[in-house]
Chains A and B, each alone.
Chain A
Amino acid sequence: AQSVTQPDIHITVSEGASLELRCNYSYGATPYLFWYVQSPGQGLQLLLKYFSGDTLVQGIKGFEAEFKRSQSSFNLRKPSVHWSDAAEYFCAVGATGRRALTFGSGTRLQVQP
C-alpha cells in the first residue's frame, strides 16, 4: 500500500523568502502525485500534479514541484512567499488501479511580515 510522509508539521517563513515543503512517498511503481492547499475552514484546492513526463511541474500561484524518483520525493517550492500563502499544504499520492488518494498529515505554513 502507498503512503505519504510530510516530515515538517509546521513551518514559518518571512514574507518574500523562498519556501520548500517536503514530501516523501512510498509506492512500488510510478505514482500519481499531487499538492493541495487548504485555507482555514475551507476545502482543498489543487496546486499542481504529476503524472508523467517532465519531472519539474509548474502549478498555480507561482508554486512548482519536482519529482525525484531516486529519493521518492515530490517537494513543493516557491521562490518568494506572500502573506496569502499561509495555509495548510497536503501532499497526496494516487496509485494505478485505485482511485483513492492517500494524503500526508500536512504542513502548516505561517508567513511572518
Chain B
Amino acid sequence: NAGVMQNPRHLVRRRGQEARLRCSPMKGHSHVYWYRQLPEEGLKFMVYLQKENIIDESGMPKERFSAEFPKEGPSILRIQQVVRGDSAAYFCASSPFSWGRDGLYNEQFFGPGTRLTVL
C-alpha cells in the first residue's frame, strides 16, 4: 500500500508567480490535511478537506492561498503571487474515516513534503 504521495518534492518560484502543490492520499483515505513548516518551527495546520468539501480552513491565510480536493485526482494547495515568506515545507497528511472514542479518530499519515523556495 503506497503511502501519501506529494509532488513536486522541491519547487522554486520567483516572487509573484503561482505555486501548485499536489497530494495523493493513501488508498482508501478520504480525508486530507495540509500543514506548513517554517524553518526551525513545528508544523502548523492550514486546511482539512474531504472529497469536494473544505471542512476546516481555520489555518489558511485569508489571501492568496486556496485548497481543493476534487472527486477525482489529487488534492491541490495553490498559492498565488508567492512572496519570500511563503518559503517553507508544505506537508500533506491523510486519514481514513473511522469512529473512536468521542466519535472521532484522529490518526494522520504524512507525505514527504514539498519544499517551496521563493526567490
Seen from chain A, the residues whose Cβ lies within 8 Å of a Cβ on chain B are 32, 34, 36, 42-46, 49, 51-52, 90, 92, 94, 96-106
Contact = CB atoms under 8 A, between A and B. Distances in A.
Contact of B43 (A32, A45, A96, A103): A103
A45 B107 CA distance: 11
A99 B56 contact: yes
A100 B104 contact: no
Contacts of B107: 34, 46, 49
Contact of A52 (B45, B48, B101, B113): B101
Interface of B: 4, 31, 33, 35, 41-45, 48, 55-56, 58-59, 91, 95, 100-113
Contact of A36 (B41, B95, B110, B112): B110
A97 B100 CA distance: 11
Contacts of B42: 90, 103-106
